[in-house]
Amino acid sequence: MLLIFDCDGVLVDSEPLACQVDADVLTNLGLPYTAEDIARQFVGKSMKDMIARIEADHACTLPGDFAERINRTLFARFETDLKPIAGVRDAILALPHPRCVASSSVPERIALSLRVTGLADLFENVFSATQVARGKPAPDLFLHAASQMGVSPEGCLVVEDSPAGVQAALAAHMRVIGFVGGGHCGPEHAETLRQAGAPVVIDRMTELSATVQALA
């Protein structure tokens, strides 16, 4: 069985930082968003899809360097403030299965996230939504990861924190565990993931090993 981990909100507690940076940059451009707005609408989705949605919703064109502005500010915050999800390293090391990362973020952000949180050595194989035509909730990224790892979709188990990610895993015909231990997850988030189709939801990484074994 192949374990496929999302990065933001599953391996690293990045979403509160990222949502605030996105909101600040958009508000400075005259498009007022709160961090809560960003979390509700865009967590789990690619930058490309977020830009397309914002431009459609506001009938506007964002600056050509919008993504660069976001990443420049966010990467600086990551260097000083980003932390791993509590217990995630031990949880991963306790599992004997092959593993990889499949994230909506750009490769540079994933690499930085894993480096500053001390998790980079756990993953030889990292996949980004920039490598496929459609981001989550489409199944493309997870199917690409499975193909590159030489595993059938039915042999994969995905760990995801976003409704889009859960939907993508199910669309790829993979099993999925919802995770709600990130700093962006409010008390309603578990039910949101269940409504997206997650058959099981955990809120601590100490629960991961037993949950994986139950689903294997």
Reported as a single tens digit per residue, the pLDDT across 75-110 is 999 999 999 999 999 999 999 999 999 999 999 999
Which ranges in 43-185 belong to alpha helices (H)? 47-58, 66-81, 88-93, 107-116, 140-149, 163-171
**Is 65 an active-site residue?**
no
Q: Kindly state whether residues 63 and 86 are assigned to the same domain.
A: no
Say which residues have a Cβ less than 8 Å from residue 99's Cβ, sequence separation at least 6.
2, 3, 4, 5, 92, 122, 123, 125
10 Å CB burial of residue 209 (0-12, 13-18, 19+) is: middle
Q: Is residue 81 annotated as part of the catalytic site, yes or no?
A: no
Domain match, 74 and 105 both? no
- The secondary structure of 205-216 as a DSSP string is GGGHHHHHHHH-
Sheet containing 175-179: order of strands: 126-128, 99-103, 2-5, 156-160, 175-179, 201-202
Task: Judge if 52 and 142 occupy the same domain.
Answer: no
CATH of the domain at 48: 1.10.150.240
Q: Is there a single domain that holds both residue 7 and residue 100?
A: yes
* Alpha-helical segments (H) within 82-118: 88-93, 107-116
Catalytic residue among 6, 22, 49, 161: 6
In this structure, the answer to whether residues 48 and 134 fall within a common structural domain is no
216 has a pLDDT exceeding 90: no
Q: What Å distances lie between residue 64 and 61, 147, 159, 197, CA to CA?
A: 8, 33, 33, 36
Judge if 71 and 86 occupy the same domain: no
Same-domain status, 169 and 114: yes
The domain of 75 spans: 15-81
Residues 207 and 168 in one domain: yes
Catalytic-role residue among 8, 13, 22, 49: 8
| Tokens 């990362």 -> residue | 101
Please provide the average confidence, as pLDDT, over all residues in the chain.
96
The pLDDT of residue 192:
96
Q: Which amino acid is at 16?
A: P
Q: Report the number of distinct structural domains present in the chain.
A: 2
**Are residues 77 and 87 both part of a single domain?**
no
Q: Are residues 76 and 86 in the same domain?
A: no
Residues 164 and 73 in one domain: no
Q: pLDDT tier at 118 (50, 70, 90 boundaries)?
A: very high
Question: What residues contact 88, with CB distance under 8 A and at least 6 apart?
Answer: 10, 11, 119, 205
Q: Is there a single domain that holds both residue 72 and residue 97?
A: no
pLDDT tens per residue, range 21-52:
999 999 999 999 999 999 889 988 888 999 99
